[in-house]
Amino acid sequence: MEIEVNELATTAPEPPPTAGMTLACIVCKQDIPDGRARRRSETCSLECNNALRRFRREVLMTGKCPHCLHPATAEERERFRKWRISEGRKAQRGNPHTGAKEKRLAIAMGDALQVLKERREEFAQAHSQLNMDGNPDTATVDANYSKDLAKMDARIARLSSAISGLEGNPLVV
């Protein structure tokens, strides 16, 4: 199919769908220049754009948090602080899960201390003579084994002090 030269000259391109429309700035209601309209700008100038950004930021700053619904304006924050003080609640700063690692560590150390004490008793019973009460008499332990018992006692003491240090930590409850 061939097109004649006359047909090409007579067909004009169709106007864009926005032809004849004038876009207005949403800040000052003036016409938006063509260059800015092509870039889909809502404002006519940089000053209007800055004013729009300031307005949108102010709207965000004066609203409530969509997640926790805490107040955002200065008056609401002050009223919220007074309410929190009157209710006796303190603000919890930081991560609420802080201390979980220390809690698990204290539990594991307590378990290890219990196992160490049991092993020490088994060791003392196996390598010493029993006294009148049926308890192992550590004075009758051989010299080699007494060094091992002293090491175990030192480890038990260190582990006990470490656990008591963790229990004194306010994070471990």
Burial (CB count within 10 angstroms: exposed 0-12, middle 13-18, buried 19+), residue 123: middle
- Using 70 as the pLDDT threshold, list the residues of the chain that sit under it: 1-20, 64-72, 88-94, 96-98, 136, 138-139, 141, 167-173
Output the pLDDT for position 173. 46
Residues 29-53: tens digit of each pLDDT: 898 888 887 777 889 899 999 999 9
Give the whole-angstrom CA distance, residue 104 versus residue 78: 38
Output the pLDDT for position 48. 92
Q: Contact 73/62 with Cβ under 8 angstroms?
A: yes
Alpha-carbon radius of gyration of the chain: 40
Q: What is the DSSP letter of 108?
A: H
Output the pLDDT for position 51. 93
- Average pLDDT over the chain reads 76
Percentage of residues in the chain having pLDDT higher than 90 = 5
For the entire predicted model, the pTM comes to: 0.37
Strand segments (E) across the chain:
129-130, 136-137
Residues 52-66: tens digit of each pLDDT: 999 988 777 777 665
Percentage helix, strand, coil for the chain under 3-state DSSP, each rounded to 5: 55, 5, 40
Domain spans of the chain? 34-86, 100-167
